[in-house]
Amino acid sequence: MWIYEKKLQYPVKVSKCDPRLAKYLIEQYGGADGELAAALRYLNQRYTIPDKVIGLLTDIGTEEFAHLEMIATMVYKLTKDATPEQLREAGLGEHYADHSYALYYHNAAGHPFTITYIQAKGDPIADLYEDIAAEEKARATYQWLIDLTDDVDLQDSLRFLREREVIHSQRFREAVEILKDHEGEKKVF
Amino acid sequence: MDKQWRFYRPYRSPFDPCVPKRVKAYIVPPNQFMPFQPPGLRTFSPHEALRRGTLWPDLYSRYNPPHREEIDP
Ligand SMILES: [Fe+2]
């Protein structure tokens, strides 16, 4: 089960009215390497991974939902007060036609989220290498999002999220080291 | 400049349609050099750690892309 804490993992401050940015940020919401994909990937893989690293997948998978909530907050703040005309100018006319001000799980190009973005092979090493790659790709997405804005407050929140991907990658690579089980090798003799 | 950045010079055609970038940059975060985090690493203060997103200075990566003039004067 989960316990919900009614606050964000890190404060989200948006200082510049730039609805177009919401169109780009949505990549981390419903995109292939976004937070939803990450959360679903890890929380699903954990059933068939060796006991030693289940907790890691639970922890990181849970944290990804906290990140998803931060991205949602950014998108909401950037769009909630825009007129339909402003959304149209920001390239969000198509979004408005289908969803009005609602958020939706799609990527920056408008492609709907698909579960085929993620895999579960049931092979611990294969799954963890997918997770490592996913973290590095999410880190890269945050870089490109930081490049796309000059709002220093928003950049600050994005930098926090990017650093978390650096740490997640580190922990998944440590999980691979744990599963290599070097001590187990010695017992052969 | 931040030591996490790497640079290379891509091929330039004599017929490039746009002003070519002579130097390109990419970042290599410090996690790439730590197969398993050793015990006893130094830490940020709790407040600093919450701001940066990590407790560990050795795993901190600040993404500050270099300006074009910095890498290609
Ligand atoms: Fe992550």
Judged against a pLDDT cut of 50, whether residue A189 lies above it is answered with no
Give me the pLDDT at residue A187, please.
53
Q: How remote is the CA of residue B18 from the centroid of ligand 1, in Å?
A: 36
What one-character DSSP code corresponds to residue B38?
Answer: P
- Measured CA to CA, the distance from residue A57 to residue A21 in angstroms comes to 31
Within a domain: A155: yes
Judged against a pLDDT cut of 70, whether residue A116 lies above it is answered with yes
Within a domain: A80: yes
What angle do the packed helices A54-79 and A152-180 form, to 10 degrees?
170
Q: Which domain holds residue A127?
A: 19-188
Among A84, A82, A77, smallest CA distance to A157 is for A77
Would you call A58 an interface residue with chain B, using a CB distance cutoff of 8 Å?
no
Binning pLDDT at 50, 70 and 90, where does residue A87 land? very high
Within a domain: A12: no
What is the tens place of the pLDDT at every residue in B1-16?
789 999 999 999 999 9
- Interface pTM (ipTM) of the complex? 0.89
Within a domain: A5: no
Instruction: Give the CATH number for residue A26.
Output: 1.20.1260.10
Question: Would the pTM of this model clear 0.90, i.e. be above it?
Answer: yes
Within a domain: A6: no
Which among B27, B34, B62 has the least Cβ separation from residue A170? B34
Give me the pLDDT at residue B68, please.
81
Within a domain: A8: no
Within a domain: A153: yes
How far does B56 lie from chain A, in Å, by closest CA? 9
What mean pLDDT is predicted for residues A38-58? 98
Number of domains composing chain A: 1
Within a domain: A33: yes
